[in-house]
Amino acid sequence: MSLLERLGVEIPVVQAGMGGGISRHELAASVSEAGGLGTIGVSGAAAIRRELEAARELTARPVAVNVLLPFAHRDWFDAAAEADVVVTFWGRPRRRTLGVWIHQCGSVAEARAAEAAGADGVILQGVEAGGHIRGTLSALELFDRAASALPGDYPLFLAGGVAERGDVQRALEAGASGVVAGTRFLLSEESRAHPGYRDRLLAARETILTELFGAGWPAPHRVVANAATDRWLRADRGVPLLNRAINHMLAPGARHVPESVLARMVRAQRPGSRLLSPAGPTDDRPATLVDAGALYAGEAVARIDDVRPAAELVRELAP
């Protein structure tokens, strides 16, 4: 029996935790209720608790919580432990919960480290994925390499470029226990992406891998172009040295910045700001962020041209 089956998840489709509040209870609960595994992506112990409780009101099925390790405090894990699965990302894999724990990885070495640290499974993220990008290989290539390096029955999930049923079938044929889809669920009715953000994604055919929106988190991320990328990215798509220096300088203190200060930073953010935070444009953030913020999206955005109810998406992805 697979890890998802043991949890009571019928369809091997996991909706990626999308941080900064893009995936909250509405989306996670809809995905889980439809038979997939929905994931909440919010910051702070109180927000995790609130969103998880709200999701439990909507579904009795399993729900996951995503925790971004560079920002997590101890009490986030206490709150996340109430979920059926805790998914961690970006950092040294370490067991922080007694329950089911899955770590998202960008390399074979990281997947092996997660397995050695006792993770119940790993997500192998390809470079074509949306959001922050951990590795350099395509999802299927990383998957194949990881599959040969880890025990045969170890649960492996594939993330990156999953937008249609064929993508799910290919991953399962390669031996995946399931898939993780972010961009496809970002363009669902229940995601909390700002309407202006969705419109840009629906029109987009290309993405950029950059470190531009890296204030406090200087890491590669895949986005769709907007006024900020037009303003700052050089012809070779490199980020100006001063922007990079600012991003790196802020990193050590980022996890200690209070939410109220972050909110003020985000309100002040303009395409011409050098201080470009990783906050994505949610529907409760200012519309200015659509041109001044990170429009996270994976390469699959080129194949998506509608916003649909999440339950319909789960049914369509079901192999």
- Least CB distance to ligand FMN at residue 235 (A): 26
Output the six-digit token pair for 227: 């006024």
- Give yes or no for residue 142 binding ligand FMN (CB under 6 A): no
- Give yes or no for residue 89 binding ligand FMN (CB under 6 A): yes
Residue pointed to by tokens 């993220």: 125
Q: Is 2 left (phi over 0), alpha (psi -120 to 50) or beta?
A: beta
Q: How far is the CA of 19 from the CAs of 16, 22, 112, 186, 272, in angstroms?
A: 9, 6, 25, 11, 24
- Binding ligand FMN (rule: CB under 6 A), the pick from 11, 16, 42, 64 is 16
Partners of 156 in the β-ladder:
122
Return the residues of window 40-79 that contact ligand FMN according to CB under 6 A. 41, 66, 68
- Give yes or no for residue 162 binding ligand FMN (CB under 6 A): yes
- Least CB distance to ligand FMN at residue 241 (A): 27
221-224 and 131-132 strand pairing:
antiparallel
Q: What are phi and psi of 309, to 5 degrees?
A: -60, 140
- Least CB distance to ligand FMN at residue 170 (A): 14
- CA angle in degrees (0–180, nearest 5) for 304-30-62: 120
- Report the residue number, 298 or 311, with the smaller CB distance to ligand FMN: 298
- Binding ligand FMN (rule: CB under 6 A), the pick from 52, 129, 147, 313 is 129
- Give yes or no for residue 28 binding ligand FMN (CB under 6 A): no
- Report the residue number, 119 or 180, with the smaller CB distance to ligand FMN: 180
- Report the residue number, 4 or 18, with the smaller CB distance to ligand FMN: 18
- Binding ligand FMN (rule: CB under 6 A), the pick from 38, 182, 214, 278 is 182
- Report the residue number, 95 or 272, with the smaller CB distance to ligand FMN: 95
Which of 4-12, 142-150, 153-161, 233-241 is the region at the interface with ligand FMN (rule: CB under 6 A)? 153-161
| Nearest-angstrom CA–CA distance, 104 and 159 | 9
Q: In sequence order, which residues have a C-beta less than 8 Å from that of residue 52 and are 6 or more positions away?
A: 25, 40, 63, 65, 79, 82, 83
Return the residues of window 244-303 that contact ligand FMN according to CB under 6 A. 280, 296-298, 300
- CA angle in degrees (0–180, nearest 5) for 24-29-34: 140
Residues that bind ligand FMN (CB under 6 A): 16-19, 22, 41, 66, 68, 89, 104, 125, 129-131, 159-162, 180-184, 186, 280, 296-298, 300
